[in-house]
Amino acid sequence: MANTPQAKKRIRRNARRSEINGVRVSRIRTFVKQVEAALAAGDKAQAEAAIRKVQPEMMRGVSKGVLHKNTASRKISRLTKRIAALG
């Protein structure tokens, strides 16, 4: 167990950051689910509107360090490709 003040502080900080990062990732997943729901329904207009909300959320996640840049780009690319296939 941590017994130095610095280690104790690091444990407290890690717990707080983990909570915040979990919220960020969950928020991104929610937006992605909206796109996937629109795709499942076959509603291209709604899917396009939803992807416009997903992109900035994912890039915000990249800048905050909860997602890797290539991961976000890959996910956006795959969703965009699926939307294009609807038309």
pLDDT, tens digit (0-9, with 9 covering 90-100), for 16-30? 999 999 999 999 999
Is residue 61 exposed (0-12), middle (13-18) or buried (19+ Cβ within 10 Å)? buried
Q: Where are the domains of the chain?
A: 5-86
What 3-state DSSP class applies to 78?
helix
Q: What is the CATH number of domain 5-86?
A: 1.20.58.110
pTM: 0.86
Q: What would the pLDDT profile of 63-72 be if each residue is shown by its tens digit? A: 999 999 999 9
Contacts of 59 (CB under 8 A, 6+ apart): 72
Q: What would the pLDDT profile of 34-66 be if each residue is shown by its tens digit? A: 999 999 999 999 999 999 999 999 999 999 999
